[in-house]
Copies of this chain bind each other. A is one copy, B any other.
Amino acid sequence: MKSTYPFNPKLDLAFERVVDVPKELVWRAWTEPSLLKQWFTPAPWQTVDCEIDLRPGGLFRTVMRSPEGQEFPGSGCYLEVIANEKLVWTNALLPGYRPVTVAGVPGTRNDFQFTAMIELKSVPGGTQYTATVIHADEAGCQQHAAMGFKDGWGKALDQLVAMAKKM
């Protein structure tokens, strides 16, 4: 594990790969909406909207669309923004660090919560890309794994790399 994060295998998921594009392009792909929309969801899914307010406490919002046309909006809050190195956000908080809740059901949340951390490091051959997803409990972690975390993040990264090579 190349991440600086103290990984917990029961609660966390990780994805790691060396990609042959410079970390500055990976960073742009993650932080510019017009670029993110091109790779973020494995085809035939699409990312049809994206808002990025790139600062701690700022909004990270995406809308994913299924092949059948159903839309899945999601909002989170950036926690750490270190250009070309580290990006951390969570969907347990809304912009301005406001805790998430479901309307009318105090204390509950609309989905399984996670914090995601992208770490980039220049290595021979390109960029060491590490994604760590941190869950509240084992159920959330298992649910995320069952949704195809590794496969999905891998396919999305393939798309990111293909896009970056054309830039």
A80→B80 CA distance, assembly (Å): 9
Is B93 touching A139 in the complex (CB atoms < 8 A)?
Answer: no
Shortest beta-carbon distance from A92 to chain B in Å: 4
Contact of A99 among B97, B101, B108, B114 (CB under 8 A): B114
Is B56 touching A98 in the complex (CB atoms < 8 A)?
Answer: no
A138→B69 CA distance, assembly (Å): 34
How many residues from A make CB contacts under 8 Å with B?
A: 34
Verify if A1 is at the interface (C-beta below 8 Å from B).
no
For residue A9, which residues in chain B have a CB less than 8 angstroms away from its CB?
none
In the complex, residue of chain B having the shortest beta-carbon distance to the beta carbon of A137? B101
Given contacts A79-B56, A107-B108, A109-B107, contact A98 B136 (CB under 8 A): yes
A-B contact pairs, 19 of them (CB 8 A): A6-B96, A79-B97, A88-B97, A92-B92, A92-B99, A93-B93, A93-B115, A97-B115, A97-B134, A98-B135, A98-B136, A99-B114, A99-B135, A99-B136, A101-B113, A101-B140, A103-B137, A106-B112, A107-B108
